[in-house]
Amino acid sequence: MVAHGTIAFDTLTTSDQVNTGTEKSLDTSYIFNGVLKAWLNLDGTGTIGISDSFNTASVTDNGTGSYAKTLSNAMSNSLYATGGGHNANSSFDANGRVLPSSTTSVVMYAQANGASVDASIVTALVSGDLA
């Protein structure tokens, strides 16, 4: 069905003649379920600033190298997956953690050489099921 610029379909199918010649099908809901649900690129130095983002309502500066990001569209539960990193101190001891805190909140920590640090690039990715 094509109407008002919207194409509605339940399944994507390809003959894949170029590569394998084997037809492949994909339920479109799989695509939605698999895409990132939120992301953030943050400057954690000075007065912290959100460089760009999606599905982010606010960022809280909790102290040196410690931040929290909240979501506009909550996740279904807190068992979602997160990822991210930071650019402070390019040594092998640099360590960043991004973890679910609640269905609407993610915490982010930037560390280097065993200590919390402020980084000019802190990123967070959120993947999972939306509420």
Partner 1 sequence: MIETPEFQGTHLWERLCWAKEKLEPYRSEYCVVWEDPNDMENPAKVTHPDPNWMACALQGGILPPVQSYWELKKDENKPDFVKHTRGPELLHNMKPIDAMTEEEAIEYLIMKDIPEHVWRDWDKSNKPKMVICKKDQLPGTREWRNAWQISEDLVINNEVAA
**Contact set with partner 1 (CB under 8 A):** 37, 45-50, 52-64, 70, 72-78, 102-105, 118, 129-131
Compare residues 37 and 82 and give the one whose CB is closer to partner 1. Answer: 37
Compare residues 15 and 49 and give the one whose CB is closer to partner 1. Answer: 49
Q: How many CB atoms lie under 10 A from the CB of residue 116? A: 15
Min CB(76)–partner 1 separation in Å: 5
Compute CA 40 distance to the chain's CA centroid, rounded to the nearest angstrom: 7
Compare residues 82 and 105 and give the one whose CB is closer to partner 1. Answer: 105
Query: HSE-up of 65 (CA within 13 Å, CB side)?
Result: 19
Question: And the tokens for 61?
Answer: 């500066």
